[in-house]
Structure formats: C-alpha cells, structure tokens
Amino acid sequence: MPTKKIKTAKSENDQPVSDQTSQRLWSAHGGMDDVNYQRSAQVTLWTIMGGLAIAVLVTKLDSLWAEMQAGRWYLAMYALSSFLAIILGWTLQVWGALVLKFRITITNTFLIVGSSFAIAIQCLQVTHPVGWLAATFISGLFLLFMQIHFMRSGAWEPFSADVVAQFKKNFWIYGLWPLLCLAGIVHHYLAPSSLTETIWGVIALATYTDAFLRQSRGMERERRDLGVL
C-alpha cells in the first residue's frame, strides 16, 4: 500500500541561518554605528555640494579675468569671498556633524542643500555683484534657519548650558549677514557705479574673513571643552 507524504508548513525557525543573521544585522540599530553613519552621510552630502560650487567657480575664472583686465579688478574680492564661503561652509558642516546632535532629517537635508545650492549660485554670479549679493542673501537666510532648527531640535544637547546661552547670543551674527546683503542690493540699485561694487566687495571679503577667524577660534574652544582630539 503506497504511503502518503504529509506536507508540513515551514516554521520561521526553519529559515536558513544566514537569513536569520541578516535579519538581525539589518534590524539592529542604536549606538555608535548609527551615529557615525549619519555623520558620514551628511558630510558626504556637503562635500558633493561644495565640490559643485568649486566647479562653478572654476568655470567663471575666464570671464572673471577678462572683467579684471577691463578695469573691474574689485571683482576678485567677490571671487575670493566665494572661495572662503565654500571653505567655511564645508568646515561648519563637518565640524557640526562631529560635535552636534546632528541627525538625518528632511529639515536638515533641505537646509543643507538649500544653503549649498545658494553658494553655488553665488559662485556663478562673481562677475555680477548684485546677483552675488542676492544669492548670498538667500544663503544667509538658510544658515539663520539652520541655527534656529539646531536650537529647536536638540542639536545643542552635547554642550553645557553656558555654551548654549552663548550660541543664542550669537544669533544676531546670522541675522546681520542677510540684512547687509539686502542693504548692498538696495545701494546698487540706488547708486550703481564701480565705487558701489568696490565698497560691497570690501565689505563681503571683510565679513567672510571675520567669520573665518571666528569659526576657527570657536572650533578650538569647542575642541578643548568637548575633548576632541
């Protein structure tokens, strides 16, 4: 008499060992692996956007040189300011990813891409001071919103209450830069001249140089406070 084969349902425990291990690896979260992943992802994003801005700036060198030979030598200050903006932006981003509670969120990504895209447009406008100031104004707004987001999202949690209070006092710096750019745009429309373009080229370069030095000092202070090597 032929025997009947009895079919049995596979239980979840009968899955291959390799599948079970894979599930555990991909479902396990929390700890330094997650933190390091989010840091590296955001640093990579800004590095790509910063590289885009540098590429745009390089493409403007020929036209910039032609304008300088025609007597608009002061445009070099706008180009140098854009170069400092790229360096400063990248440094702020990677340092923030290291010392802040800087998680991947839609808001973070939007602000990073927005500010870096505005800097790329800024680089595209180095021979047109009004357009350069307009792009810088937009970039400054994104940076201001980013600081507000840091305050509200808990990104400053690693710092002491005194340091956080100092961060809040520095809000005026982030608010002043867009206002300066707006004043420069109005000045260009009211009194368009080479002198006006020169004045705002000096202001732009001086402001970015000051921000560069402030950030350098701030990083050294935070390095000591947080014990960063």
* Range with lowest mean pLDDT among 47-51, 157-161, 210-214: 157-161
How many angstroms separate the CA atoms of 96 and 90, rounded? 10
**Mind listing the pLDDT tens digit for each residue in 4-20?**
444 444 444 454 545 66
Tell me if 4 is assigned to some domain: no
Q: Has residue 118 been placed in a domain?
A: yes
Residue 14 lies in a domain: no
Query: By mean pLDDT, which of 20-24, 51-55, 76-80 is the weakest?
Result: 20-24
Quick check: is 190 in a domain? yes
Residue 54 has pLDDT above 90, yes or no: yes
Q: Range of 162's domain?
A: 49-226
Residue 140 within a domain? yes
Among 7-21, 39-53, 136-150, which is the least confidently predicted range?
7-21
Q: In total, how many domains does the chain have?
A: 1
Amino acid at 152: R
Specify the pTM.
Answer: 0.82
Alpha helices in 14-160 (DSSP H): 17-27, 32-59, 61-69, 75-99, 106-124, 129-153
Nearest to 132 by CA among 181, 69, 175, 178: 181
Q: Do the domain assignments include residue 181?
A: yes
In a domain, 201, yes or no: yes
Q: Which two tokens stand for residue 176?
A: 């002043």
Q: Report yes or no on 174 lying in a domain.
A: yes
- Cα(113)–Cα(30) distance, rounded to whole angstroms? 26
Whole-angstrom Cα distance, residue 12 to residue 209? 62
Give the model confidence (pLDDT) of 66-114 as tens digits: 999 999 999 999 999 999 999 998 898 888 888 888 888 899 889 989 9
